[in-house]
Structure 1
Amino acid sequence: MDTERKFSTWDYVVFIVTLAIALAIGVYQALAGRRQYSSKEFLLAGRQLSALPVAMSLTASFMSGITVIGTPAEAYQFGAPFLLFAFSYSIMSTISAEIFVPLFYRLGITSTYEYLEMRFNRLTRIIGTSMYIGQTVLYTGMVIYAPALALNLVTGLDLWGVLAGTGIVCTIYCTVGGLKAVIWTDVFQMIIMLSGFLAIIIRGAVVQGGVQRIWNDSYYGGRLDIWDFDPDPLKRHTFWTVVVGGSLMWTSIYAINQSQVQRYISCRSQLHAKMSLYINMVGLWITVTLAMVTGFTMYSIYSQCDPLSVGKVSAPDQLLPYLVMDILADYPGVPGLFVAAAYSGTLSTVSSSINALTAVTVEDFIKPLYPTVTERRLAWVSNGLSIFYGAICISMAAMSSLMGSILQAALSIFGMISGPLLGLYLLGMFFPCANSIGGLVGLFTGLILTLWVGIGAQIYPPLPEKTNPLHLSTAGCVFNYTEPPMQSTALPWSSAVTTTMASLDQHRPGIADSWYSLSYLYFCPVGTLTALLLGLIVSLLTGGRKQKNISPDLFVRKSDFLCFTCKTQDEETNKETPNSIPDMELKKGTDNPSFDVKEENLQEKMEKKTVL
């Protein structure tokens, strides 16, 4: 085993070509369309996209570089329970498609946070948008930095060159091509990611003498034990934590997170939007399965000599890059394909974030302040914001290198913020009596609780009996005592999701083994239920809803549930136009061609009101 293997010239060629193709797709979309003169073209691709590319984009955004590297390490250390997320993806896709898609399409919104002003008030919208911007900028910086450091330590790939290159490429094609460029580059990047996994699995099967050997090693190593019905909420991955907690966590991302919602509301019809989520569900099944099989392959190869235990790598996130350089370095260009796969995940997530950040800034801050600004000028503003947010994300990636263990806590915060926000949306959608006071009290209380438990869990990690790491052996290692182990650089993003930190303390407080040991998958349900229940109670105590002219279109309808017979655009225009929304609200989100208000229909509606 040659631990000093580094990138060859062909590996660099493959990696650079991948970045160049992504950039070329963005430039092509800008030149071919020649229509990026309006903000809706730039931010929503004219709402004319079909289900398949949007679905692949949704899946690619899920597969960040951290996920590409971290999921196989999860299978290597903890085994198959992560596959239970297939149930979570199914539940999440159904809820998002059958409840949130009809609501957002009915309102024709661009920013998901427009709904908060329609339902509650302007302040609630600003707070929701600000929370999203903060978490997204922070997370995007980490998505750029984390894989770069892991790959740098193992492959020798230049850290700062890759950081700058990744950010610059994303910024350029987001700026010139808008959402359409983001989605089509995501399609290309999705293919590269799956190809990277397949290359490792195929080569690993050859090294091990067949798939049967990989399966047997994983079985006897306890990696295939998937079912654990223990209801203990402190255990990291059980059937209940994954299916209950994981479903809510992913719903909070796909149902209300602008980065995901912006994709499926760019579809040409409600039917395409729903289908994109269901196709994405299948894509998630395939992607996670390949990632887990990659982890089982890695375990089979290292079942008798764990690189982590003997110091060949210093953190779990370095395991997969180490494996690639170990078994694929003799094939010029193939390690470059894997690195391209990891960075395709990074490019997809970063480009999605930049485009979504631009959208919420335009819709939630600029348009309300400057209601008469022209579409052409908004398009230029959108271009400038893409450059601005690209620079901010690159800067955040550079800052991440100085943040040490704080970065681990910051990564967990990304998930914690989504839970209280989901509770706020559910409160508004299902409870007509809820008001803005109750919504904000519930939101802030839920956020405080999730930050408390999440940060506490980073300071006092759960004990191994709750995280259940599996046995790793060094019985087959041939030690070279003249070769020093890799410097133990604790990778700060190796959070509770991917690794078990050693329990250090004689100073652990009692709360550390109860409240702080709560499974990370329950952080989102804690925030959601707190925001929902407390928001409802406070709303009732403060007199309930004050608005008298609020539209029924802002609430979930019975017809929204499991309605697969989506109407055509003409039917939606004539029958589901949100005419009952007050004038202030009618002006929001009306750039959706599925819900354009015909002048004669609006005039007829006003005449009926006058007669009454």
Structure 2
Amino acid sequence: MAGTGGPVATFSVWDYVVFAGTILAAAGVGLFQAIRGRKETTSDEFLLGGRQMTAVPVAMSLTASFMSGITVIGTPAEAYRFGAAFWLFGFSYALMSIATAELFVPLFYRLGITSAYEYLERRFSRPIRIIGTSMYIVQTALYTGLVIYAPALALNQITGLDLWGVLVATGAVCILYCTLGGLKAVIWTDVLQMVVMLAGFVAVIARGAVLQGGLNQVWKDAGEGGRLNAFDFDPDPRKRHSFWTIVVGGTIMWASIYSINQSQVQRYISCKTLGHAKMSLYVNMVGLWLTVTLAMLSGLTMYSIYKNCDPLTNGDVTTSDQLLPYLVMDILAVYPGVPGLFVAAAYSGTLSTVSSSINALVAVTMEDFIIPLWKNRTQKQVTWLNMGLSVFFGGLCIGMAGVASLMGSVLQAALSIFGMISGPLLGLYLSGMFFRTPNSIGSLSGMIIGLILTLWVGIGAQIYPPTDDKTLPLPLTTVGCNSTMGQNHTTSAPWTSAVPMTTVPSGRPPLADTWYSLSYLYFSVLGALVTIVSGFLISMATGGCKQEHLDPDLFVKKRDLFCFRGCNTSEESHTKEKRISDVNGIDNKAFTDLPPEIISKDKEMTTKL
């Protein structure tokens, strides 16, 4: 009986059929896009979909990329153990979407970039661009390996799916459609995966509501269990989740991901117009709201079912990541194929994140390293190199999943480092976009100082985890279990991992309860602020105030705000853009800088037609 503890069912034949069918369907969508665009083999087509994508599929792809398998499994567990405070991220998503759409999109779109780190060279210097790209490649390869491994381990221990078989299959499917279909295949596959992920959440909520007598009972149980006390206005920066840490820190953290991370930037600059690019982020905002709402409702439903018998404390599962898969096998196994749908939903999150990362890694490697050095190249050579890099990075991500299996509790440290690097990088972009004073020496120095501080506090937090009075886990009980197997309770970190947490070491130093207890959501804030302030001061000391002849297009402009077409360029470039868009039917800035002979040829072809 659901909610009383003990072993649960494992996968049936129909579950395997549904799971395999969903994964094959994802591969099929990617292959269809590859076949459909087989004659369009340019690098621009492969990496950016020919810059002809529209808002809705790009928005769904942005949301799907955000929903990794770790997110699908970990967010409901967050609601189960810590309550509904995570819902406040809806405010963060809104503020992040507005800032990205109105500040970063017009800037990147105006410059017609392919790599987000191209801006760093134009504004500062090539060495800073190379450093930024290198940081991105390292953290993305590692993070993607973890995204493959963590949910695979959690699902393997509950469903019995072969761990390494699924790991290799996941990587192979992504490599297949990324290599053959490029960004179009990634985006349209993400659309399918987004639908599957949401369907998995809906199945859990619907079945749980039936078992508990309706959503009203689920809501009542959550309230009685203290899970609905979301608004905590305590300004203490050491509190893991409060209104201020989530809204202020969460906004900066997600902005550092959506605004400058190549995986996200590459999507919205693939849109055919500035209006579509901006709109994709606003539609994505709604998608994020829907996703976090369904994930939180899944977690509250799980609490309603297990309020008297916590599987974690009872020893039925070993980590919080296994709670949702355990619930699925507990309440949905009576419907053959439905557990397979949920597992497919979790793996769809993994597929979307992995495919996005592979495509983005290929883009930055080509744009930032290979193309500037390889002058005498043919289009066919570039095409084959794009495909070869897709295979290479796909294999690298699978390899990193293997490394992750040997890292134990260091997994959480690796994930935290991925977040900490984004803050200083965001500070570097903001200082360059809003101020003319920062120069290369000052900005690079500021980013290094910011990175050192965030690594210091983040690694310190791993060695000396915050105590329960900062993380505030809510009470759980096993009084309603059929049998209690013994205490096996773990303290969750702000991220999720499919490995047990290490025990809190004794002999905590004074910094452990002050500096190291800083909320993980403030890591990006700390890194960005330190980078901006220190970079500004060092630039002033090294002649930054004397900088002249900087391209005005490198800075945020007032006319960028809430303009959806043609108002982010000067009068001259806008006239040029309008002239070419009349020929090509597009207004992506990347097409307004074509050589005169190509423009003349396009006009001749248009006249003949």
What is the TM-score normalised by the length of structure 2? 0.92
Structure 1 residue 497 displacement after superposition: 3.1
Residue matched to 2:225? 221
1:34: which partner in 2? 38
Q: Quick one: distance in 2 between partners of 1:398 and 1:178?
A: 25
Match of 1:65 among 42, 45, 69: 69
Shift of 1:557: 1.0
What is the one-letter code of the residue matched to 2:495? Answer: V
Read off the aligned partner of 2:535 and give its amino acid letter. Answer: G
Q: Pairwise mapping of residues 137-176 of structure 1 onto structure 2 (< 5 A)?
A: 137-176=141-180
Give, in whole Å, the separation in 1 of the partners of 2:229 and 2:39.
53
Alpha-carbon shift at residue 600 of structure 1 (Å): 9.7
Give the corresponding residue for 1:558: 558
Identity of aligned residues (%): 65
| CA distance in structure 1 between the partners assigned to 2:339 and 2:522 by the alignment | 37
C-alpha distance in structure 2 between counterparts of 1:403 and 1:299, whole Å: 31
* Aligned-partner Cα distance in 1 for 2:169–2:188: 20
Q: Give the secondary-structure state (helix, strand or coil) at the position aligned to 2:113.
A: coil
Equivalent-residue separation in structure 2 for 1:109 and 1:593 (angstroms): 7
After superposition, residues 116-131 of structure 1 pair within 5 angstroms as 116-131=120-135
- Give 2:516's aligned residue: 516
Structure 1 residue 155 displacement after superposition: 1.0
Give distance in 2, aligned partners of 1:357 and 1:46: 18
SS at match of 2:335: coil
Change beyond 3 A, Cα 1:473–1:379: same
Residue 329 of structure 2: aligned partner: 325
Partner in structure 1 of residue 363 of structure 2: 359
Q: Given the alignment, which residue of 592, 595, 606 partners 2:592?
A: 595
Question: Distance in 2 between the 1:431 and 1:567 partners?
Answer: 22
Aligned to 1:537: 537
Distance in 2 between the 1:591 and 1:213 partners?
51
SS at match of 2:311: coil
Q: Decide whether the 8 Å contact of 1:30 with 1:36 is kept in 2.
A: no
Render the CA deviation track for 1:522-561: whole Å, top value 9, x for unaligned.
0000000011111100000001166643211111111122
Choose the corresponding residue for 1:21, options 14, 25, 29. Answer: 25
Can you list the C-alpha shifts for 1:370-422, whole angstroms capped at 9, x where unaligned? Answer: 13323332111110000000000000001111011111100111100100000
Q: Label 1:113 to 1:369 Cα distance change in 2 as closer, same or farther (>3 A).
A: same
1:460 equivalent to 2:464? Answer: yes
Distance across 2 between alignment mates of 1:326 and 1:4? 5
- Pair 1:572–1:102, CA change in 2 (3 A): farther
Asked if 2 retains the 8 angstrom alpha-carbon contact of 1:194 and 1:341, the reply is: yes
After TM superposition, give the deviation of residue 24 of structure 1 in Å: 0.8
Letter in 2 for 1:206: V
Instruction: Report the residue type matching 1:94 in the other structure.
Output: I
Aligned equivalent of 2:583: none
Q: Structure 1, residues 437-464: CA drift from partner, whole Å, max 9, x if none?
A: 0111011111111111111111111010
Q: Which amino acid aligns with 1:496?
A: P
2:409–2:501 CA contact under 8 A, matched in 1: no
Q: How does 1:105-504 map to 2 (within 5 A)?
A: 105-479=109-483, 495-498=493-496, 504=504
Q: Provide the alpha-carbon RMSD of the alignment.
A: 2.4
> Secondary structure of 2:313's partner?
coil
Q: Is the 8 A contact 2:110 2:569 kept in 1?
A: no
Shift of 1:36: 3.7
Look up the match of 2:526: 526
Distance verdict in 2 for CA 1:557–1:601, change over 3 Å: farther
Verify the 8 A CA contact 2:415 2:495 in the aligned structure 1: no
Give the letter for the 2:215 counterpart.
V
Q: Give the structure 2 partner of residue 7 of structure 1.
A: 11
- Give me the whole-angstrom Cα distance separating, in 2, the residues matched to 1:223 and 1:4: 26
- Across the two proteins, how many residue pairs are aligned to each other? 586
Contact 1:461 1:501 in 2 (8 A): no
User: 2:581 aligns to what?
Assistant: none
The answer as to whether partners of 1:269 and 1:569 remain within 8 angstroms in 2 is no
Maintained 8 Å contact 1:139/1:414: yes
| Deviation, structure 1 residue 353 | 0.1
Preserved contact between residue 412 and residue 496 of structure 2 (Cα < 8 Å): no
Aligned to 2:56: 52
> Secondary structure at the residue paired with 1:324?
helix
In structure 2, the CA distance between the partners of 1:172 and 1:83, relative to structure 1 (3 Å rule), is same
Query: Against the structure 1 CA distance between its residues 35 and 567, is the aligned structure 2 distance closer, same or farther, given a 3 Å change threshold?
Result: farther
Which secondary structure state, in structure 2, belongs to the residue aligned with residue 309 of structure 1?
A: helix
Hey, what's the Cα distance between the residues in 1 that align with 2:72 and 2:183? 23
